[in-house]
Every structure is written in C-alpha cells, then in structure tokens.
Amino acid sequence: MTPRGKSAYMKFSDLGLSEELLRAVSEAGYETPTPIQESAIPVVLMGRDVLGCAQTGTGKTASFTLPMLDILASGRAKARMPRSLILEPTRELAAQVADNFETYGKYQKLSKALLIGGSSMEEQLKVLNRGVDVLIATPGRLLDVFDRGHLLLTDVKVLVIDEADRMLDMGFIPDVEKIVSLLSPMRTTLLFSATMPKEIRRLADKFLSNPKEISVSAPSATADTITQGLIKVTPSGRQPGAAQKAKRDKLRSLIADQSDLENALVFCNRKRDVDVVYRSLEKHGLNAARLHGDMVQSVRMDTLEKFKNGEVSILVCSDVAARGLDIPSVGHVFNFDIPTHAEDYVHRIGRTGRAGRSGKAFTIVTKEDAKYIRGIEQLIGKPIPPLGETAEKTAVEGDKKEEAKVDAPNKEKTSDKKEAPKKRARSKKKETDDAAKKDEPAKQEKPEGENDNKKPSEKRERPKRGRRERGQQDIGIIADDESGWGDGVPAFLTREVDLPSKK
C-alpha cells in the first residue's frame, strides 16, 4: 500500500538518508520503505513532531530509528546525559529496538544503553557513566535509575514514545507523564501507536507541539495476508477445567493438522495458562517453549532467541509478546484464549502475515466467549469465519428454518389454546345465566306453602354432633349417627312436625 500522491517505486535513497545509513539498510535486505516509513522519515529529519498511527507489523520502529541515527550523527554525549530517549512498554520491545540500532548504525559511531528490569543495574550504570547517544528504556527502570541520582534528562533532544496505547493498557501513563516533565521543552517528540483511543489523543495534545499526524491504514485493521479462522469447542461435562481441557485437545489437533507449520505463537490470557498449555504440548512431544512476564529476563531473552533461530517451533506466550516481536517468518498464530480487549486480537494475529508473507490465525472459543467475538468482529469490520464447521453451521441453520416453518402455523393454535379456557368460562357463565332466567318463572309459580311438607333434615343443614344451633327447637335436631342412641332412635324424632309457613 502506498500513500496517496507517493510513487509506488520509492526507495530509501529517496528519503534523504545518509550514505552510511543507506548502506546498512541495503545490507539488512531492505529496498522499499513501508508506508509509515515513507511518510514519517522525511518529517522526522525536518525536526518536526510526529503522531504516527499504523497497525502492528508495518515498520514503525525503523520509521523513527533511521532518521534518529542521522540526526544524532553529529555531536557528543556527556556522562549520564543521554541525547535521545526511547520509551518502550516491555523489555522485549526495548531489546528489539536496541538490536535495530545495532543493525542500522553499524557504520556510525553512536553509543546506546538499555535500561530494563531483570538485568544487572550495575552494568547498565557503567554504560550510562560513559555517556550514550541513545537511551532505550522501560518507564519503571528509568525512574528507578533517575531517583538514585544516576541520570539527567535535560540534554534529551529527541523523545520517542513507542506503542503508546500499550503503555496505557499496562498503566505506565503516569510514569510517562513524570518522565516528560523532566525533559527540556526544546525537543522533538515522536509518538507512535497502533490504535488511537481518546486518552492517547489527549497525551498527544499535551506532549506534542504542532505534530504531523500520519495514519497509513485504518486503525485496528487486520492484514489481508492473514487467513483467519474461528474454532468452537464444547466441553464434555461441567466439572471444573473441562473447557480448558477441551481447548488443549483442540489446540493439539489443530497443530497436527497444519502440514505447513514451521513455527507458531500460542497466546493465552493468563500467565498460569501459559505454563499449563506449555506442559501439555511438551508432554505430547511437541517442540514448545513459554514466555511471560514472571520469567527471569535472561531466560526470556534466551527463549526468544531460540524461537527466532528455529530451535523452538512453538512459543506459548502471554500478551507481553503480542507487541514488537519482529520475526517476519512466523507462519501461524493460535489464540488459545480469546483476548478480552478487541485491539489485542489485531496485535496478536499481526505477528503473522508480515512483510507480504501469508499467515494463518486460529482462535479457539467456547459459548461463553460470544460477547468478545462480537467486539472483535465489530472492530475489524468483518466476521471471523468458522473453521471446519461450515457443514455443521449450515445444518443448524437449516434446522432452525424448519423449526420456524413448523412453528409458524402453530402460533395460531397456541393462541387458540390460551383463549380456550376463557371461551369455555364465558360459555359456561352464559349457560348458567340462561338457566337462572328459566328457573325464575318456575320459582314464582311455586305455591306459597310448598316447602311446608319438607322434613327438618331436608330443610336445614345438619348441625355438628352434640351441638345445637341458636334459636333452634329440640324437636328439629337429629343425631349425626343413628348408632349413637344406643337401643334406637326415639319415636318423637321420626315424627313429622308442621311448622308455620313464612309469609
């Protein structure tokens, strides 16, 4: 992709870089700059602030390291006073930037220092005491060294804040604000980010002065060279860990099915899951290693180097490795866990399909991950196609359509069933009312003394045994149980009594 108005055949030699730098770039195997490099390098060489937004894997690192090398070519660093500062969110990114300076600056006599956690501070301080042109650091270690009195930042002429949105996610923004307050305002500031949320925009307005804004692609877009796939798994049972076990089984099956797999990254959301998945792969004979933030820095760097060299085929990692792993030949990415932040999905799968190469990215999900899938698909602007479930999906959709056809005529029947009791009740009430109307004339035609011939037992309700109703004569009471009288019922109780009729 080429920015509008730019030549499709532009080369690094057209960007105004020095001969020494062009020689090093050519030996590194690069001829044509990427869109972000093509747009940013001339602006940085002019000394103007830059706000760069481009998706991961587009060459943002070279877009600021190359012009910085030429800017710093003249001048000399003082002890404990670096001439430029690059802030990175992770140790791996910082180490990678340091490697880029080593590669591109091989014909220029510039010194650099790396300030990151997990390494010997004593060795890092020795380099600082000699004076460095480029200081590459993580915010925490930089403030630690500064608070100990081993560092002055007033001579920094170029400040780079790399992966600013990742800084935000990791909670480094307060540290970054403090560091910027220690710098001279007479500086060039370059801020690069893969996405541009409101908070990053606010920081840009605060740190940058009249910046040139460069956005070479839609934020959070996925590369067209990546084949994406969604794999749904259903755990067998509800016992704890059933879903994770089903996902581990599916992951091993996916890896076995990829005949073209040379190396792969497997991403997990939590560090403990990294360990579990790594042990599972290793147990089943796969050449795997792990990488997460709780590991010793020397072990992390050694593991990463083995993966780059091909000694390790599968690297199980957390999001600490989602940004900045400059390994162009990664062929596969597996999301063992779906990321909770949609932007992280773009960064993860952006580790493959780099530099025009094709890549594959598969994501394993359960039904509980539906909301995260919707968020990712909304961000990237297209659905993630299911892998190996097309027939099943079609069958399910067909069943749903058939159910809809069957249910459609039954809706009226269901409604009739609901109305039936009401109709029966109304009909019964009507019949009762009609019967009552028919009985009214009959009641009026009855003779006045018709009820006089009825026995007391037929006329009144039976009282309970051994009790009398108030105002009732003794002759009107009969026993509930005839056997309760012993030898029989007295004759006077069986005799009919003429009661006066009510007028």
pLDDT (0 to 100) of residue 495: 55
pLDDT (0 to 100) of residue 488: 55
CA distance 113 to 133: 8
Domains within the chain, CATH numbers bracketed: 12-215 (3.40.50.300), 226-387 (3.40.50.300), 451-493 (no CATH)
Residue 149 has pLDDT above 60, yes or no: yes
CA distance 190 to 212: 10
Residue pair 334/251 in contact (Cβ under 8 Å)? The answer is yes
pLDDT (0 to 100) of residue 178: 95
Residue 3 has pLDDT above 50, yes or no: no
pLDDT (0 to 100) of residue 329: 80
> Strands, E, within 112-199: which ranges?
112-115, 134-137, 158-161, 188-193
Specify the DSSP element, H or E, that contains 411.
Answer: helix 390-445
Rounded mean pLDDT of the chain?
79
pLDDT (0 to 100) of residue 25: 93
CA distance 218 to 109: 38
Per-residue confidence band for 77, with pLDDT thresholds at 50, 70 and 90: confident
Per-residue confidence band for 435, with pLDDT thresholds at 50, 70 and 90: low
Assign 36 to helix, strand or coil.
Answer: helix
pLDDT (0 to 100) of residue 326: 66
Q: Which of 204-213, 338-347, 360-369 has the lowest mean pLDDT?
A: 338-347
What's the mean pLDDT in 324-338? 84
pLDDT (0 to 100) of residue 43: 95
Residue 4 has pLDDT above 60, yes or no: no
**Nearest Cα to 24, choosing from 133, 100, 75?**
100
Residue pair 84/158 in contact (Cβ under 8 Å)? The answer is yes
**Residues forming a β-bridge with 114:** 136
Q: Is the full-model pTM beyond 0.85?
A: no
CA distance 487 to 490: 9
What's the mean pLDDT in 54-76? 86
In one letter, which amino acid is 185?
P
What's the mean pLDDT in 223-245? 87
Q: 44: Cβ–Cβ under 8 A, 6 or more apart, which residues?
A: 50, 63, 64, 67, 68, 71, 188, 190
pLDDT digits (tens, 9 = 90+) for 185-233: 999 999 998 878 888 999 999 999 999 999 876 556 677 889 999 999 9
Q: Are strands 50-53 and 212-215 parallel, antiparallel or unpaired?
A: parallel
Q: Which 8-state DSSP code applies to residue 225? A: T
What's the mean pLDDT in 66-90? 92
Residue 306 has pLDDT above 50, yes or no: yes
What's the mean pLDDT in 359-382? 92
pLDDT (0 to 100) of residue 328: 67
What's the mean pLDDT in 78-94? 92
CA distance 303 to 281: 16
CA distance 361 to 350: 9
**Nearest Cα to 138, choosing from 130, 146, 129, 150?**
146
pLDDT (0 to 100) of residue 31: 83
Per-residue confidence band for 392, with pLDDT thresholds at 50, 70 and 90: very low
Residue 368 has pLDDT above 60, yes or no: yes
pLDDT (0 to 100) of residue 386: 92
Specify the DSSP element, H or E, that contains 459.
Answer: helix 456-459
Per-residue confidence band for 479, with pLDDT thresholds at 50, 70 and 90: very low
pLDDT (0 to 100) of residue 388: 60
Assign 294 to helix, strand or coil.
Answer: coil
Residue 36 has pLDDT above 60, yes or no: yes
CB neighbours (10 Å) of residue 378?
11
pLDDT (0 to 100) of residue 363: 96
CA distance 288 to 266: 10
Exposure string for 455-466, b = 16+ CB within 10 A, e = fewer: ebeeeeeeeeee
pLDDT (0 to 100) of residue 75: 85
pLDDT digits (tens, 9 = 90+) for 104-141: 999 988 999 999 987 788 888 999 999 999 999 999 99
Residue 167 has pLDDT above 80, yes or no: yes
H helices within 34-86, ranges in order? 35-45, 60-71
Residue pair 160/190 in contact (Cβ under 8 Å)? The answer is yes
What is the residue whose two structure tokens read 């972000």?
36
Tokens of 17: 């870089």
Specify the DSSP element, H or E, that contains 335.
Answer: strand 332-335
